[in-house]
C-alpha cells in the first residue's frame, strides 16, 4: 500500500500535532452545529501550519466514494465483551483557496454492526438502545489508533481534542486503561462541551460495558445520581475543558444552565475557557453564494433588495416594501419559539412580514401552521429543513429572531451578520458574546450590530422587536447596523488562533483559565 498522508513528512514540522475526535463532522455526517465545528476548525488549524487528524465513525450514511474513503488499517479493539475487528478508512479534507499541502487527514472507524444505520444517534426521534456500546467502542478504537500512530508515525499527535458526550470516554481511557502505554505517554487531552443539555446518561447496570473498573463509578467520576454519565467522566479526566462561548462557560456553572453538572464544572473552573465558534465564510458569503437570486456585498446592497423580493415570492407573500422578520430554527422550547408564537397576534397588527423555517415539537409546528392559515398574507411558513432556503432567508430578511432560552454559541446570528440581516437575540451564551446591542452611541461609533433583551418573556421579546422596527424607519441608522454586522469577523481564523494558543498551554502544562482570548 502506498504511503499515507498520515506519515508523509512536511518540510517545516508544524508546532502542534492535534487529533480531533468527533461523532460528526461536515461534509461527512451532520445533525447539528458540532459537525460544522469539527469540519471547519481542523482546516483552519491546518491553514495555520499545524498537523491535524480528524477521527469520526464511518456511518453507513457517508458516501465513501464521494469522499475518497479507502481502507488504511485494521485494528483489534478491546471491548467489555471481547475483541472486535475494526477497519480504519482514510480520506482527506482539503483547504479551499489554500496551499496544496494544507489538509486534514480524516480517519473513519468502520464497524458496520454499530454504524451502518439510517441515523447517527437515533431514528424517528428514538435513541438507539446500544448507544453506550457504540460510542464506548468508538472511543476505544480511537485509543488503539493513537497507540498505532505512536508506534508508526514519525510525528504522532501530542494532543487529543474530544467533543461532547459521545467522545468523552477518550480522556477517561487515556488516564486509566491506557495510562501505562508508552505510545501515548505525554499525550494531553482537551474536551469541548457544545451543549451541556446532552450528557450521555445511561442506567448504572450497563456501566460494565464501558470496560472500566468499579472503582471509577463514583460521585467524583462517572456516577451521576445513580446513573452513568459519560460527559461527567470526560469533565473529570480531561486535562482542560472548553465550551463554545465565554458567557456560556460562566452560565454552565449555575443551576439554571448546568443541568445538574454545575457543581462539577465549578470545581473545574480553573481549567475551563470559552472560545466562540466561527463560520465557514466561503460557504456563507453573499457575494458568491450560488443559491441566492442575486449577490451583494457591504459596499453594494442592491442584490439584498432583490433577495428580499424573491424570498417574498418563494414564501408566497405579497411583494411589498415592509419589514421582513425571519426565523430559521429547531422548533423547540430551548430556541424560544414559544415566545415568538406568543407575540404573533401583536405582530400581525403591524405592517410587516415574517417567514419561518424549521421543524421540531409537533405542538409548535401545529401552532405555527394555525397562524399561517389565519394570516397567509403576512406569514410565510415552511415546516422541515432546506439548507438552500436557509441561505435565501438569511439574505432576504431584514431582521432575524433568536430568542433562545439558552444558546451555547449559536451560528444563525453569525450567518445573519454576514448577510446584513440584523439579529434580535436574547442576551445568553454566544448570543451575548457576538451581538453588540443597539444604542444611539453604539450606532454612532459603528459598533452596534443588533438588538438584545434579557428576560425570556414574550413582553421582553416584543419590546426588542418594536425597538428594531422603530430603528428600521431610520435608514441611516439601519444601514449602520447592517454595515457593522457585515464587517464583523465571523470566520474561524480568529477562533483557531485562540485554540492554538490554548493547545500550547495544555501541551506545555500551563493551564490558566481565562487567559485565552481571540487575537
What tens-digit pLDDT sequence spans the chain (519 residues)? 333 444 443 444 457 999 999 999 989 999 888 998 999 999 999 989 899 999 999 999 999 999 999 999 999 999 999 999 999 999 878 776 666 667 789 999 999 999 999 999 998 889 999 999 999 999 999 999 999 999 998 889 999 999 999 999 999 999 999 999 999 999 999 999 999 999 999 999 999 999 999 999 999 999 999 999 999 999 999 999 999 999 999 999 999 999 999 999 999 999 999 999 999 898 899 999 999 999 999 999 999 999 999 999 999 999 999 999 999 999 999 999 999 999 999 999 999 999 999 998 899 999 999 999 999 999 999 999 899 999 999 999 999 999 999 999 999 999 999 999 999 999 999 999 999 999 999 999 999 999 999 999 999 999 999 999 999 999 999 999 999 999 999 999 999 999 999 999 998 764 443 333 332
**Domain membership of residue 364 as a residue range:** 302-489
Residue 34 lies in a domain: yes
Verify that 127 and 181 share a domain, yes or no: yes
What are the residues whose beta carbons fall under 8 Å from the beta carbon of 243, sequence distance 6 or more? 192, 193, 194, 196, 249, 252, 272, 274, 408
Nearest to residue 438, comparing CAs of 467, 409, 404? 467
The answer to whether residues 452 and 504 belong to one domain is: no
**pTM of the predicted model as reported, rounded to 2 decimal places:** 0.90
Do the Cβ atoms of 108 and 75 come closer than 8 Å? no
Q: Count Cβ atoms within 10 A of the Cβ of residue 464 and give its class: 0-12 exposed, 13-18 middle, 19 or more buried.
A: buried
pLDDT of residue 9: 37
CA distance 348 to 345: 5
In a domain, 463, yes or no: yes
* Residue 428, C-alpha cell as written in the block: 445568553
Q: Are residues 243 and 306 in the same domain?
A: no
Same-domain pairing of 359 and 408: yes
Residue 434's CATH number: 3.40.50.2000
Report yes or no on 361 lying in a domain.
yes
Instruction: Output the CA–CA distances (angstroms, integers) from residue 163 to 94, 166, 303, in the order listed.
Output: 22, 7, 39
Q: At what angle do helices 362-374 and 337-348 cross, to 10 degrees?
A: 10
Same domain, 236 and 318: no
Kindly state whether residues 436 and 346 are assigned to the same domain.
yes
Q: Do both 376 and 472 map to the same domain?
A: yes
Query: Are both 351 and 483 inside the same structural domain?
Result: yes
Does the residue 185 lie in any domain?
yes
* pLDDT for the residue numbered 124: 83
Task: Tell me whether residue 30 is in a domain.
Answer: yes
Q: Strand pairing of 227-229 and 223-224?
A: antiparallel
Pairing of strands 379-383, 51-57: unpaired
Same-domain pairing of 67 and 212? yes
Distance CA 274, CA 255 (A): 18
d(CA 190, CA 504): 12
202 assigned to some structural domain: yes
Is 60 within the bounds of a domain?
Answer: yes
430 lies in the same domain as 500: no
DSSP per residue over 68-83, as a string? Answer: T-EEEEEEEE--TT--
167: its cell numbers: 467522545
Map grid coordinates 508508526 to a residue: 152
Same domain, 475 and 498: no
Q: Are residues 263 and 345 part of one domain?
A: no
Domain count, the chain: 2
Asked whether residue 258 is domain-assigned, the answer is yes
H or E, element range at 243: strand 240-243
**Helix, strand or coil for residue 404?**
coil
Amino acid at each position: 500500500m502506498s504511503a499515507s498522508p498520515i506519515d508523509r513528512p512536511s518540510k517545516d514540522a508544524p508546532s502542534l500535532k492535534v487529533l480531533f475526535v468527533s461523532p460528526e463532522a461536515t461534509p461527512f455526517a451532520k445533525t447539528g452545529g458540532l459537525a460544522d465545528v469539527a469540519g471547519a476548525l481542523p482546516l483552519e488549524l491546518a491553514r495555520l501550519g499545524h498537523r491535524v487528524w480528524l477521527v469520526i465513525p464511518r456511518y453507513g450514511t457517508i458516501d465513501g466514494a464521494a469522499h475518497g474513503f479507502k481502507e488504511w488499517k485494521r485494528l483489534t479493539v478491546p471491548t467489555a465483551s471481547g475483541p472486535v475487528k475494526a477497519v480504519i478508512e482514510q480520506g482527506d479534507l482539503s483547504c479551499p483557496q489554500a496551499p496544496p499541502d494544507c489538509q486534514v487527514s480524516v480517519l473513519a472507524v468502520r464497524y458496520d454492526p454499530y454504524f451502518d444505520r439510517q441515523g447517527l444517534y437515533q431514528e424517528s426521534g428514538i435513541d438507539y438502545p446500544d448507544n453506550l456500546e457504540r460510542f464506548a467502542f468508538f472511543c476505544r478504537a480511537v485509543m488503539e489508533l493513537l497507540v498505532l500512530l505512536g508506534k508508526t508515525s514519525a510525528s504522532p499527535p501530542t494532543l487529543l481534542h474530544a467533543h461532547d458526550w459521545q467522545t468523552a470516554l477518550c480522556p477517561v481511557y487515556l488516564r486509566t486503561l491506557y495510562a501505562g502505554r508508552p505510545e501515548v505517554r505525554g499525550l494531553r487531552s482537551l474536551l469541548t462541551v457544545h451543549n451541556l443539555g446532552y450528557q450521555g446518561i445511561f442506567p448504572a447496570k450497563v456501566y460494565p460495558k464501558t470496560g472500566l473498573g468499579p472503582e471509577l463509578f463514583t460521585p467524583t467520576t462517572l456516577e451521576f445520581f445513580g446513573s452513568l454519565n459519560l460527559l461527567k467522566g470526560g469533565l473529570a479526566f480531561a486535562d482542560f475543558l472548553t465550551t463554545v462561548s465565554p458567557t456560556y462557560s460562566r452560565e454552565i456553572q449555575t443551576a439554571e444552565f448546568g443541568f445538574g453538572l454545575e457543581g462539577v464544572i465549578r470545581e473545574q473552573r480553573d481549567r475551563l475557557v470559552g472560545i466562540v465558534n466561527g463560520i465557514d465564510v466561503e460557504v456563507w458569503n453573499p457575494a458568491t453564494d450560488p443559491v441566492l437570486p442575486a449577490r451583494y456585498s457591504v459596499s453594494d446592497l442592491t442584490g439584498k433588495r432583490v433577495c428580499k423580493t424573491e424570498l417574498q415570492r418563494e414564501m408566497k407573500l405579497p411583494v411589498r416594501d415592509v419589514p421582513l422578520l425571519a426565523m430559521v430554527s429547531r422548533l423547540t422550547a430551548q430556541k424560544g419559539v414559544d415566545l415568538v408564537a406568543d407575540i404573533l397576534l401583536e405582530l400581525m397588527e403591524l405592517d410587516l412580514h415574517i417567514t419561518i423555517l424549521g421543524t421540531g415539537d409537533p405542538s409548535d409546528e401545529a401552532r405555527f401552521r394555525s397562524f399561517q392559515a389565519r394570516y397567509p398574507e403576512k406569514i410565510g411558513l415552511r415546516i422541515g429543513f432546506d439548507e438552500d432556503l436557509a441561505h435565501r432567508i438569511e439574505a432576504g430578511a431584514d431582521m432575524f429572531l433568536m430568542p433562545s432560552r439558552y444558546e451555547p454559541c449559536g451560528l444563525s446570528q453569525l450567518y445573519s451578520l454576514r448577510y446584513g440581516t440584523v439579529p434580535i437575540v436574547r442576551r445568553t451564551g454566544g448570543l451575548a458574546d457576538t451581538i453588540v446591542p443597539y444604542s444611539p452611541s453604539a450606532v454612532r461609533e459603528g459598533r452596534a450590530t443588533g438588538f438584545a433583551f434579557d428576560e425570556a418573556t414574550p413582553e421582553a421579546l416584543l419590546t426588542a422587536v418594536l425597538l428594531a422596527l422603530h430603528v428600521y424607519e431610520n435608514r441611516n441608522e439601519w444601514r449602520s447596523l447592517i454595515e457593522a454586522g457585515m464587517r464583523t469577523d465571523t470566520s474561524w481564523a480568529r477562533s483557531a488562533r485562540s485554540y492554538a494558543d490554548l493547545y500550547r498551554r495544555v501541551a506545555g502544562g500551563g493551564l490558566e483559565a481565562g487567559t485565552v482570548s481571540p487575537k
